[in-house]
Amino acid sequence: MSKPVRIAPSILSADFARLGEEVRAIEAAGADWVHVDVMDGHFVPNITIGPMVVKALRPHTTLPLDVHLMISPVDGFLDAFAEAGADIITIHPEAGPHAHRTIQRVKGLGKMAGVSLNPGTPAKMLDYLIDIVDVVLVMSVNPGFGGQSFIESQLKKISAIRKMIDATGRDVRLEVDGGVDAGNAARIIAAGADVLVAGTATFKGGPTQYAANIAALKARAAGAG
């Protein structure tokens, strides 16, 4: 692919007692975005962080904060995350009654708007959203917890979404999150993705390994071109 591949480490796998340091470390190690997983214990079976933590992280990095809202109902929180410093706000179509309106609101706040599809959510869900989103995030595990294995059936979905994006002629990022590592990065990129969310694959081995971990992902991704 001609597009450069971005690596977006998920802070879900970081040391939560040292989040500011961890974010500075991954930026220094070559990360492109910082992926922030927001979970409410309702839409997904885990609870993570809220807008105050995003606000606290904002001064620690110049990288885009890629905030993935796994919360329902989502609409009441859009303004808070925008004000906290999110650059990209991604929602699930199942997280509210009017996905199109929700995406319009994100864009009205001056942010990049993303839509995320769970493993069981078909690509067809994007038919009337693809023309207004900036990011499509394919979940290649069922959301809620880090460290899960990549679901192979999602490669076909990634390919289908890549065709949809190309047909629009728009610059829409195609992001993949869940079980991404150096072993499958090339296949994911070959299927059409251009942003890889990598939690465990980035943070394994501690801060001295972050640069090597990110470099390994980028090298595998580059080999897919």
The residues annotated as belonging to the active site are 37, 177
Residue with tokens 């002629």: 169
Task: For strands 135-139 and 6-9, give the pairing.
Answer: unpaired
Tell me whether the omega of the peptide bond preceding residue 97 falls within 30 degrees of 0, making it cis. no
- Contact yes or no for 60/158 (Cβ under 8 A): no
> Is residue 188 packed enough to be buried (19+ CB in 10 Å), middle (13-18) or exposed (0-12)?
buried
Q: DSSP assignment, residue 151?
A: -
**Amino acid identity at 144:** G
- Contact yes or no for 36/11 (Cβ under 8 A): yes
H helices present in the chain, as ranges: 19-28, 51-57, 78-84, 99-108, 154-168, 185-191, 200-203, 210-222
- 147: how many CB neighbours lie within 10 A of its CB? 11
- Contact yes or no for 64/39 (Cβ under 8 A): no
